[in-house]
Structure formats: C-alpha cells, structure tokens
Structure 1
C-alpha cells in the first residue's frame, strides 16, 4: 500500500484538493442559489467554481504539484487560470444542457426533481468533466517539469528540520 501511495502521491493530493474545492463550490453555489441568485443557478455555480479555483491554485501549487514547475510563476498562474476557465465552461455545460436544452426545471419538474437534476448535472457530471480536464492540462502545461522545484522543496524541508532540531 505504501508503494502505491508513493507512486500516486500527486494524484492523491490533487484529489484531496479537488474534494475540498468541491465542498467550497457546493457550499457557495447553494448559498447563492437559494438566496440572491434564485433565478440564475448556472451563474451561482460559476461563482462557486471561481472561488474554489483560487483556493485550488494555491493548494495545487504548494502541495499537490509542489515539486513540479518549469514555468515562471506569473506564466504558471496565467496558464492555471486559463485552463481553469476552460474547465469552468466544461463544469457548467452539463447543468446548462440539463436546464436549458432538456428543460429539467420547474414547472416541468418538481422543485426536488429540479434540484436533483442540477446536482447530478452541475455538481457531479460537471465536476467530473472539469476535474479530468484539469488533471491532464495542469500536468501537461501548468506544471510540466517533474522535479523542477525539488531542490527548493528539499532545501525548505531541510531548513524546517534544522529549525526543529535547534529549538
């Protein structure tokens, strides 16, 4: 099991960050959807995803892909947010299709049916689609070089150990 965890460390960390981002997205989306954006559920989802994306950049850069790099930080951030913008569109697409193409909303459905359709299309299918795209694109374009930041991470880890020993 330890070998599996070590081999797939990046993917597992990416999944943890994604899980936390999912919770952030869900909380913000539903607060907005049931308060100020009642008539705009796709907009509520987009705002939730945008806020979670900011958290995701910091967490992925500093934890999930902490040893990867290969780009200047501003270029890396620009690519991260560009790719996240494409993923945001992919994330919103299933809910948009559900609401406005398949018309899975009131009065054709009950409020519960509408909310289940929104959750399945926007939160489950959309998140899955966006996450798969992000995993592939982040590794390919945002953090392309494995081990690029390894020396900085090791130096930082060694400094932390030295500080603990000195204390």
Structure 2
C-alpha cells in the first residue's frame, strides 16, 4: 500500500489535471458532435462546413473550461495570446477531423450519418492527443511562482468576527 500511496502522491496533480481536461473534453465532444449532426442533417451545410462550425463553438467552450478550471493554476500570459494560440492549435487539431471526415465522405464515398460520426470520433481522438500536449507546451504555461492555496489575511471574510 505504501507504494500506491507514493505513486499517487507523485502523480496526483497530473491525474487531477487529466481528469479535468477529460471532463471538459467530454462536454466539448458532446457539443461538437451534436452541432456537427445538427448543421449537417438539419441545416444541410455539408460535412466539412458543419465540422468547422461545430468545432469553432465547442473550442470556445473548451478554452473557457480549460483556462478557468483545468489549467487555472498555470501562468496567465494574457487572454488575447492564450485565446489566439488556443484557436491556432485547435485549427491544427481540426485538420485531423477534416481529414478523417473528408476521407470517409469523399474517398470512401460514405455519406451516411453513422460514417460521419465514426470519422468524427477518430479525428477527435487524434486531435485530443495533439491538443493536450500543445496546450501544456504553449498555451497554459507552468506558473513561475507558486499559487497560494489559502487566501491571505484580510481576505474575503476579514470583516466577520470569529469569536462567537
């Protein structure tokens, strides 16, 4: 049991970070897939245009979730810089989805919704691996100073009496 405890202590922050990243990613995936199908089936935008629209909206959600929850303890290097890099890297990751959807639709000539969704899942899987690596490397940088765990004296509840 001591080995397990030491392993957990060593990798706890990574495990928590991956769990948060996965949670945000799961919600963004549902949003992306729902919008992809809505745009393609209900609005008839076509598979590639639908993917671009869906990814743009789900990427905005993912940025906010990752910035203010997953990687909140990392250096904040400016909203404009982060948002630009986040979208640039998501644009690169979008290429994985575009390639798999394009290959499925136009090379394999599979135009049904199931094939579209399978291609989307494969593209999102490859894109997710790229995004996690690139966010940590270029967007949400390691903090240069430790983030305080507790509020300093005189924080939010400074005016509340504690001797009741």
Please give the range of the TM-score, normalised by the shorter of the 2 chains: 0.7 to 0.9
Which structure is higher in RCO with an 8 Å CA cutoff and minimum separation 6? Answer: 1
Q: CA deviation at 1:66?
A: 0.5
2:20 maps to 13
| Gaps in structure 2 of 5+ consecutive residues | none
Write the distance in 2 (CA, Å) between the matches of 1:127 and 1:94: 9
Q: 1:94 to 1:24 in 2, by over 3 A?
A: same
Q: 1:87 to 1:155 in 2, by over 3 A?
A: farther
Q: 1:131 to 1:154 in 2, by over 3 A?
A: farther
TM-score by length of 2: 0.80
Q: CA deviation at 1:99?
A: 0.7
TM-score by length of 1: 0.79
Q: CA deviation at 1:29?
A: 1.3
Instruction: Decide whether the 8 Å contact of 2:100 with 2:122 is kept in 1.
Output: yes
Give the RMSD, CA atoms, in angstroms: 2.7
Q: How many residues of Structure 1 are paired with residues of Structure 2 in the alignment? A: 153
Correspondent of 1:141 among 127, 138, 141: 138
User: Is structure 2 residue 68 aligned with structure 1 residue 72?
Assistant: no
| Gaps in structure 1 of 5+ consecutive residues | 106-113
2:106 maps to 100
Instruction: Decide whether the 8 Å contact of 1:25 with 1:48 is kept in 2.
Output: yes
Q: CA deviation at 1:86?
A: 0.9
Bigger radius of gyration, 1 or 2? 2
What are the Cα deviations for residues 101-136 of structure 1, in whole angstroms up to 9, with x where unaligned? 22223xxxxxxxx222111111x1011011111000
